Amino acid sequence: MDTSEHCKEVYAYFGLAMYRAQCVEQSIIQLLIFYDFFKKNVPKFESREKWEADFDRFDDALSKKTMGRLLGAMREIGMLDSDIENTLSLALQKRNWLAHAYFVDRALDFVNEAGRNKMINELEDVIELFNSVEDILNPISKSAAVKYGLTDEALEKLKNEMYESVKGDL
């Protein structure tokens, strides 16, 4: 593989790692929606319009928070046992490192093939960490979704409607 292609491969792995970090953040947001917003708002449901406005406000506020603050919100509502908290803390540490220091820390590795291979292996490990976090969070979220009537069929219908509205090709 030529040097240019090898550099592109490092960037591709980095991009996938950051994408997976964002997936973890979105999973945390989903959990907070179910375990905070839904828990508080389903019992006092008044109208669809009010629900949608309150939901949008809550989702927007969560989306502006850092991953660390999202974990703090999970902690506040008692969602985290020590194993999950430790895993999420490691994911947060890796996410922040990727976002703020990865290429600075690996600048000398990037200039040679062996270093780039090391970076790719390292990024694969980080991606695997984020995947394992998703493996922990997704069943919790799915269980909450089902509790509120969001079955696989209902979610598939929503997904299809969204894809149709944008003429998605995935």
pLDDT tens, N- to C-terminus, the chain (170 residues): 799 999 999 999 999 999 999 999 999 999 999 999 999 999 999 999 999 999 999 999 999 999 999 999 999 988 888 899 999 999 999 999 999 999 999 999 999 999 999 999 999 999 999 999 999 999 999 999 898 888 889 888 888 888 888 876 76
The model's pTM: 0.89
pLDDT of residue 7: 96
Distance CA 115, CA 117 (A): 5
pLDDT of residue 166: 86
Q: What angle do CA 10, 15, 21 make, to 5 degrees?
A: 130
Asked if 157 and 43 count as a contact pair (C-beta separation under 8 A), the reply is no
Structure tokens at 17: 């790692």
Longest dimension (CA), the chain: 62
Distance CA 153, CA 81 (A): 31
Asked if 141 and 30 count as a contact pair (C-beta separation under 8 A), the reply is yes
Number of H helices and E strands in the chain, helices first, is 9, 0
Asked if 68 and 26 count as a contact pair (C-beta separation under 8 A), the reply is no
Mapped onto helix, strand or coil, the DSSP state of residue 111 is coil
pLDDT of residue 17: 98
Structure tokens at 142: 């799915």
What CA–CA distances, in Å, run from 112 to 2, 17, 43? 12, 21, 59
Q: Where are the domains of the chain?
A: 3-166
Distance CA 61, CA 48 (A): 20
Closest alpha carbon to 127 in 150, 102, 162, 159: 102
Name the helix (H) or strand (E) containing 154: helix 152-166
